[in-house]
Structure 1
Amino acid sequence: MKTRRVRLGKYLTVKEKYLKPIFSGEKITTIRRGIVVPSSKVVYLRSNGKVVAELEIERVKYVRVEDLTTLDAIKDGFKSKKELLKNLRKCYPNLSDNEWVSIIEFRVVRKIYDEYTHQDTRSPVEIARLGLAYGLPSNEEERRILALIVTIGDLKEVAVRVGGIDKYPLIYKIIGRIERELYKMGILTK
């Protein structure tokens, strides 16, 4: 079978059900069939015909389906490789184990407008940056975590660096508290 090659234009389209995991940082990749070559480092995230965010493509990795890992599944918002494969086969019914797929890793640069909450929203990186700028970390550990979020951008990688993937909920708790403080201070508005 000939390998499918596709050029990714300025839009990356996803189903609506993936927006919440993308905006929360739970899903930082998308896996597409074939060899997908981005034409730009910055693309627009589109869902239901609407542009909802601006993304920066951080890297693209090409692997065969059989070589996908549990970490690939977690970065794509799934709990296991088995769950990821089930989902991929639902999207691509004839997908075989020896076919190439592209793992497109991205970060949300900015949310354009959240039509579901009708709020101007910020990414965790922006919240961390603002939290540091306004001196909101309550202790040295929070300051270190926020600095890592700004530097790395990948919340799961930050969790691993500060003690393991089980630290992920702690990171979200910190980001949530900082975001609430920024709203209270009037720096972020609803």
Structure 2
Amino acid sequence: MARVQIRKFMLVDSAYVPKILSGKKTTTIRFGDYEAKPGRDVYVVSRPSDTAVAKVLIRGVTKKRVGELTNEDARKDGFRDVKELLNALTRIYGPLDAEDKVSVIEFELVKRVEPVPLKLLKGLNYREPGEVAKLYVESGVSAGKDVDIIVSHIHEQGLKAALRKYGPARVKKALLEAYHKLFAEGII
């Protein structure tokens, strides 16, 4: 089985997002061999919308066999007990054997983020739109009037407000142009 690296983001089912945001879910248990570097911040991306909703700090990764999972593992993962956890894992991965290997990825919520599509986050090299907007406005660079107006709106009122006012296509284009201008100027 190939090792899976978690570098910039981890996908989670939208049903688990409220538990992560409330701090009731501090692990994710994945079938197979997962690696994540302790001390690294990664985005939590809600499926199926593929929207980043939070940033978490990876605390560690423990390898176990399914038969070694405990009630404590289940509670940290947001379940009442190991039976409920195993039912959820079976729904996701199919039937599991007691000898199957899982990776328990422990994390800590760093912050909620204004929901941002993963595709846009990748285009901004994993910089949050608000961060790009702030740098762009404060640096005084310009990539054109439309970009200036939209990015200023994001900086002042947030991504959601800009999406409502200008639409997803214009906002995405403006943010990417702002990012590339900041990059070309050596600011980002």
TM-score bucket of the superposed structures, by smaller chain:
0.5 to 0.7
Question: For residue 18 of structure 1, what is the aligned residue in structure 2?
Answer: 16
CA contact (8 A) 1:55 1:106 kept: yes
Which residues of 2 match residues 97-176 of structure 1 at below 5 A?
97-113=98-114
The aligned amino acid for 1:34 is G
RMSD over aligned CA atoms reads 1.6
Question: For residue 137 of structure 2, what is the aligned residue in structure 1?
Answer: none
CA contact (8 A) 2:37 2:58 kept: no
- In the TM superposition, residue 96 of structure 1 has moved relative to its aligned partner by 1.6
- In the TM superposition, residue 94 of structure 1 has moved relative to its aligned partner by 3.5
Deviation per CA, 1:33-83: give whole Å up to 9, x if none. Answer: 111011572111111211111110011111000000000000000001000
CA contact (8 A) 2:3 2:33 kept: yes
Question: For residue 139 of structure 1, what is the aligned residue in structure 2?
Answer: none
- In the TM superposition, residue 114 of structure 1 has moved relative to its aligned partner by 5.8
Question: For residue 86 of structure 1, what is the aligned residue in structure 2?
Answer: 87
Which residues of 2 match residues 51-90 of structure 1 at below 5 A?
51-90=52-91
* Distance in 2 separating the partners of 1:70 and 1:92: 20
- In the TM superposition, residue 95 of structure 1 has moved relative to its aligned partner by 2.3
| Unaligned stretches of 5+ residues in structure 1 | 116-190
The aligned amino acid for 2:3 is R
Question: For residue 37 of structure 1, what is the aligned residue in structure 2?
Answer: 35
What SS does structure 1 have at the residue aligned with 2:114? coil
CA contact (8 A) 1:9 1:43 kept: yes
CA contact (8 A) 1:43 1:56 kept: yes
- When normalised by structure 1's length, the TM-score is 0.56
* Distance in 1 separating the partners of 2:36 and 2:52: 18
The aligned amino acid for 1:54 is K
What SS does structure 2 have at the residue aligned with 1:88? helix
CA contact (8 A) 2:65 2:101 kept: yes
* Distance in 2 separating the partners of 1:64 and 1:46: 26
| Unaligned stretches of 5+ residues in structure 2 | 117-188
Deviation per CA, 1:99-119: give whole Å up to 9, x if none. Answer: 11000010111111269xxxx
Report the structure number with the largest CA radius of gyration.
2
